[in-house]
């Protein structure tokens, strides 16, 4: 309730200047007119309040007060996306009619000729989501209404329970259950239980960089069934359990480990195979009935078309800004519906609150919604992004302001610039002998 009241306050304070008053149709009538709504500027708003580079695109129009925001966050190449927006999309979009979302998406998509990469797709997502935000503001409706309206009252989420031992993870699962979560993802340490690995030989040999991470793949594969056994015993049968392999192991090892998890009835196991190893999916399906979630790293339709149409996995796990925004994500969701594949959009901390709102609006509107990764925003993020989605009792809610419902305090956002030094550490993972592991 508190957040809802804040939102009402935000609207009253003029944070949503284009929101027509309930019951008033004057603003709506004006913008449904035949005149084009011309884009005057597309600009990047980078911000990094907590060490995670977030990027939002603002689309300005020739209509007073009518602007939109979209998420273009790709922290591993954050500066490159800023350039793709400010140096290319701004120029490309000026003068175009903001009402024609699909046309702008299709023409911007091929404007670089070479396409489908994460940098350009994220820039395109910022633009696309901002245009949906504008469309909602013009219609006086939240975006989920434009996408078909609600299929559910709120968005069921899963929480993340971590811990250095199976017992500690189990205690943390219980805490989330007390807070109302019905689904909890369980991970031992970081991904791959890296905290359990002994100092590897490549470090003593002076190979790689001093802060490179390492993982004992066989130890991880032995620990995960123990983790599930401990959590099931301690937390009972009611809670749904999820786990992210995050690629990181050989395909046959992943298949064997997933088979061992069957007695513990996982809700899904995520990313068992790297995108490069997708050919192993038929073999995985022959060996186990554990539901599989996949696709966090997908950028291109060529990566999801065949697996969805062959029902190789049960949840599509796409990171919406990585594929170009709401427009392509809706196409993926509709395609997946016919093959009984449900959505589980990627929702980590390095998605801006605008991006989380985009996830949640789609979650509300598509029938084949599966589950949403939950998120908690700090007070600073809520100040920068008034109107952000929020989670209560394991459900995510969006507000009913027209558009995506999230505003951006640009002045405050710019007080938290990107750091001078790029951080590559998270992706740098090696085996005992120093061989790079795909993260
Ligand atoms: Mg993942």
Per-residue model confidence as pLDDT tens digits over 141-174: 999 999 999 999 999 999 999 999 999 999 999 9
In the reported structure, the alpha carbon of residue 244 is separated from the centroid of ligand 1 by a whole-number distance in angstroms of 6
Residue 317: φ, ψ to 5°: -115, 25
pLDDT for the residue 21: 41
Residue 186, beta-bridge partner list: 161
Using pLDDT thresholds of 50, 70 and 90, give the confidence band for residue 423: confident
13-22, 199-208, 250-259, 371-380: which range is least confident on average? 13-22
pLDDT at 11 over 80: no
Four-residue CA torsion sign, 55, 121, 280, 286: positive
In the reported structure, the alpha carbon of residue 246 is separated from the centroid of ligand 1 by a whole-number distance in angstroms of 6
Mean pLDDT of the region 19-24 = 42
Supply 368's token pair. Answer: 């084949």
pLDDT for the residue 381: 98
pLDDT at 31 over 60: no
In the reported structure, the alpha carbon of residue 247 is separated from the centroid of ligand 1 by a whole-number distance in angstroms of 9
pLDDT at 181 over 80: yes
- Residues sharing a CB contact under 8 Å with residue 66, sequence separation 6 or more, in sequence order: 18, 31, 37, 134, 137, 138
In the reported structure, the alpha carbon of residue 18 is separated from the centroid of ligand 1 by a whole-number distance in angstroms of 37
Percent of the chain with pLDDT over 70: 92
pLDDT for the residue 172: 98
List, in sequence order, every beta strand (DSSP E) within 48-152: 54-61, 67-71
In the reported structure, the alpha carbon of residue 329 is separated from the centroid of ligand 1 by a whole-number distance in angstroms of 17
Using pLDDT thresholds of 50, 70 and 90, give the confidence band for residue 2: very low
Give this prediction's pTM. Answer: 0.93
Mean pLDDT of the region 9-29 = 45
Task: Please give the helix or strand (H or E) that residue 145 lies within, else none.
Answer: helix 143-146
Q: Which domains occur in the chain, in start order? A: 2-141 (3.30.390.10), 146-404 (3.20.20.120)
pLDDT for the residue 196: 86
The answer to whether 321 and 327 have CB atoms below 8 angstroms apart is no
The answer to whether 293 and 314 have CB atoms below 8 angstroms apart is yes
pLDDT for the residue 15: 46
Distance between CA atoms of residues 127 and 86, nearest Å: 11
Using pLDDT thresholds of 50, 70 and 90, give the confidence band for residue 35: confident
In the reported structure, the alpha carbon of residue 243 is separated from the centroid of ligand 1 by a whole-number distance in angstroms of 9
Supply 279's token pair. Answer: 């050919």
pLDDT for the residue 191: 87
Calculate the average pLDDT of the chain: 93
Mean pLDDT of the region 80-85 = 98
Distance between CA atoms of residues 180 and 191, nearest Å: 25
SS (H, E, C) 165-189: CHHHHHHHHHHHHHCCCCEEEEEEC
Pick from 125-134, 194-203, 205-214 the range whose average pLDDT is largest: 125-134
Count CA atoms within 13 Å of residue 276 on its CB side.
7
Using pLDDT thresholds of 50, 70 and 90, give the confidence band for residue 20: very low
The answer to whether 89 and 108 have CB atoms below 8 angstroms apart is yes
In the reported structure, the alpha carbon of residue 110 is separated from the centroid of ligand 1 by a whole-number distance in angstroms of 29
pLDDT for the residue 251: 97
pLDDT for the residue 33: 52
pLDDT at 26 over 60: no
pLDDT at 56 over 80: yes
First to last CA, the chain: 39
- Residues sharing a CB contact under 8 Å with residue 30, sequence separation 6 or more, in sequence order: none
Task: Please give the helix or strand (H or E) that residue 244 lies within, else none.
Answer: strand 240-244
In the reported structure, the alpha carbon of residue 33 is separated from the centroid of ligand 1 by a whole-number distance in angstroms of 44
Q: Is 40 helix (H, G, I), strand (E, B) or coil?
A: strand
The answer to whether 135 and 146 have CB atoms below 8 angstroms apart is yes
Render pLDDT for 287-332 as a digit per residue (tens, 0 to 9). Answer: 999 999 999 999 999 999 999 999 999 999 999 999 999 999 999 9
Positions marked active-site: 191, 246
In the reported structure, the alpha carbon of residue 145 is separated from the centroid of ligand 1 by a whole-number distance in angstroms of 29
State the Cα angle at 176 between 172 and 178, rounded to 5°.
115
pLDDT for the residue 351: 97
Using pLDDT thresholds of 50, 70 and 90, give the confidence band for residue 426: confident
In the reported structure, the alpha carbon of residue 270 is separated from the centroid of ligand 1 by a whole-number distance in angstroms of 6
The residue whose two tokens read 């469309």 is 135
Distance between CA atoms of residues 346 and 432, nearest Å: 30
In the reported structure, the alpha carbon of residue 10 is separated from the centroid of ligand 1 by a whole-number distance in angstroms of 34
């Amino acid at each position: 309730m508190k957040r809802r009241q804040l939102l009402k306050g935000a609207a009253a304070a003029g944070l949503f200047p284009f929101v027509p008053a309930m019951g008033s149709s004057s603003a709506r009538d004006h913008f449904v007119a035949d005149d084009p709504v011309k884009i005057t500027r597309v600009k990047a708003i980078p911000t990094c309040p907590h060490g995670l580079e977030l990027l939002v695109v603002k689309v300005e129009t020739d209509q007073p007060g009518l602007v939109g925001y979209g998420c273009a966050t790709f922290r591993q190449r954050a500066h490159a996306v800023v350039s793709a927006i400010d140096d290319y999309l701004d120029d490309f979009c000026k003068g175009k009619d903001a009402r024609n979302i699909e046309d702008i998406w299709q023409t911007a998509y091929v404007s670089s000729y070479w396409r489908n990469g994460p940098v350009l797709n994220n820039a395109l997502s910022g633009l696309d989501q901002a245009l949906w935000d504008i469309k909602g503001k013009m219609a006086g409706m939240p975006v989920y209404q434009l996408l078909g309206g609600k299929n559910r009252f709120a968005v069921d989420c899963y929480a993340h329970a971590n811990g250095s031992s199976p017992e500690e993870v189990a205690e943390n699962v219980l805490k989330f259950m007390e807070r109302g979560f019905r689904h909890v993802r369980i991970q031992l340490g970081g991904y791959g239980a890296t905290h359990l690995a002994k100092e590897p030989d490549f470090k003593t040999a002076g190979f790689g960089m001093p802060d490179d991470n390492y993982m004992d793949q066989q130890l991880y594969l032995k620990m995960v069934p123990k983790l599930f056994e401990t959590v099931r015993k301690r937390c009972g049968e009611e809670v749904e359990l999820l786990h992210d392999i995050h690629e990181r192991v050989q395909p046959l090892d992943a298949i064997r480990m997933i088979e061992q998890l069957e007695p513990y009835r996982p809700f899904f196991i995520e990313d068992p195979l790297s995108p490069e190893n997708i050919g192993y999916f038929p073999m995985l399906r022959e060996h186990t009935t554990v539901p599989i979630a996949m696709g966090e790293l997908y950028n291109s339709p060529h990566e999801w078309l065949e697996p969805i149409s062959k029902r190789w996995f049960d949840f599509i796990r796409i990171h919406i800004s990585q594929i170009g925004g709401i427009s392509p994500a809706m196409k993926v969701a509709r395609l997946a519906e016919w093959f009984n594949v449900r959505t589980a959009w990627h929702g980590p901390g390095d998605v801006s609150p605008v991006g989380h709102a985009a996830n949640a609006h789609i979650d509300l509107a598509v029938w084949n919604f599966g589950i949403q990764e939950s998120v908690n925003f700090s007070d600073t993020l809520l100040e920068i992004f008034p109107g952000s989605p929020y989670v209560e009792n394991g459900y995510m809610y969006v507000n009913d302001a027209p558009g995506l419902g999230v505003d951006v305090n640009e002045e405050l956002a710019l007080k938290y610039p990107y750091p001078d030094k790029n951080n590559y550490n998270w992706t740098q993972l090696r085996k005992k002998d120093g061989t790079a592991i795909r993260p």
